[in-house]
Amino acid sequence: MRQLVHVCSLAAAIATISATPAFAQTTAAGPYYAVPSWDQTIACTASSNCPRFVVLSNMNNDAVLDRETGLVWQRSPSDKQVQGAFAQETCSSLAIGDRQGWRVPSLPELKSLVLPSKSAPALPDGHPFMNVHFSGAPTFDVYWTSTQDTLLTDRTDVVGFGDSRVGGRLSISDFAFLWCVRGGAGAAH
């Protein structure tokens, strides 16, 4: 009988514990953010209060988290143009904010920073990026993507920030700017 009482007490304790809501343990101070999703939009109302972009102090303020996509971008893209054939190698060799693992963004990833209603630069209000080139000329001031042309494999898509129409394809022997990213799938969509 005594064993039956202990078993019942144990069962009651387990039932009580499992009915109590669970709380995640964290060791870092907030703020905490919802999981990014490509179907959400986070609007910026002013440059001083933009919830979409977070400058990452734990990466020496050299990187920016885009809460809309979950990608982490260089805060200041490359000032030098690189040949397309060496774009991925260049990103891979970077240590930004004392972190490695950088890569060339895909076309949809880089275009996620373009705001079609803006120009010069066509970036969202409140963006914290610095030194973004945006002349608006079709073959100048464009940035490499990892997305290759499906027919001409020596051509890669590029994106410009002069206005939402700037872009196209360049030969991998051409030169363009580079804006490296971390996170995401990394596929050449």
Mean predicted lDDT score pLDDT of the chain: 77
In a domain, 35, yes or no: no
In a domain, 29, yes or no: no
In a domain, 8, yes or no: no
pLDDT for the residue numbered 146: 94
Closest CA to 160 of 124, 104, 113, 128: 113
In a domain, 83, yes or no: yes
Domain count, the chain: 1
Beta strands in the chain (DSSP E): 53-55, 63-66, 72-74, 82-83, 142-148, 155-160, 167-171, 175-176, 181-182
In a domain, 15, yes or no: no
In 3-state terms the chain splits into helix, strand, coil percentages (rounded to 5) of 20, 20, 60
- Asked whether residue 14 carries a pLDDT value surpassing 70, the answer given is no
Q: What number is the average pLDDT over the span 119-128?
A: 85
pLDDT for the residue numbered 176: 93
In a domain, 45, yes or no: no
pLDDT for the residue numbered 161: 86
pLDDT for the residue numbered 136: 58
CATH code of the domain covering residue 168: 3.10.100
- Asked whether residue 65 carries a pLDDT value surpassing 80, the answer given is yes
In a domain, 112, yes or no: yes
The burial class, CB within 10 Å (0-12 / 13-18 / 19+), for 102 is buried
In a domain, 25, yes or no: no
pLDDT tens digits for range 85-115: 999 999 999 999 999 999 999 999 999 999 8
**Domain with 132 in it:** 65-189
Distance CA 37, CA 106 (A): 16
